[in-house]
């Protein structure tokens, strides 16, 4: 079955390395928490708020072994007034036998405020 795994992280500054490092940190955590192998990833959608334009967050996937054939796309998050700034969001579609309630969505840094109901700690 294909399940969606959500994640988000805020980035300190609009600088290429900061965007890539934050995205890499988020994706590593999503993969580890949900025991995901690259061959079981159907696709990854990554969005960034319009104040993050120094790099494509998807470049972070190039740092992972075995991810060469994982389909990924970047897009701009909707610019809703008052929404969280400098935020990268990830939607990963994976093949898994886990029940929906057992999927661990990951929200880090300032993004923890987006879904406090899904934060374990």
Active-site residue numbers?
6, 62, 74, 77, 89, 107, 115
Q: What is the CA radius of gyration of the chain?
A: 14
Return d(Cα 51, Cα 15) in angstroms, integer: 10
Tokens matching residue 38: 């690259």
Query: Coil, strand, or helix at residue 9?
Result: strand
Helices (H), the chain: 16-34
């Amino acid at each position: 079955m294909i399940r969606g795994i959500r994640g988000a992280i805020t980035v300190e500054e609009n600088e290429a390395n900061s965007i890539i490092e934050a995205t890499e940190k988020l994706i590593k955590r999503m993969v580890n928490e949900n025991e995901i192998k690259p061959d079981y990833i159907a696709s990854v959608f990554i969005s960034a708020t319009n104040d993050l334009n120094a790099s494509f967050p998807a470049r972070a996937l190039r740092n992972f072994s075995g991810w060469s054939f994982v389909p990924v796309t970047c897009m701009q998050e909707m610019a809703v007034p008052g929404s969280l700034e400098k935020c990268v969001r990830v939607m990963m579609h994976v093949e898994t036998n886990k029940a929906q309630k057992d999927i661990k969505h990951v929200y880090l840094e300032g993004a923890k405020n987006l879904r406090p109901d899904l934060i374990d700690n």
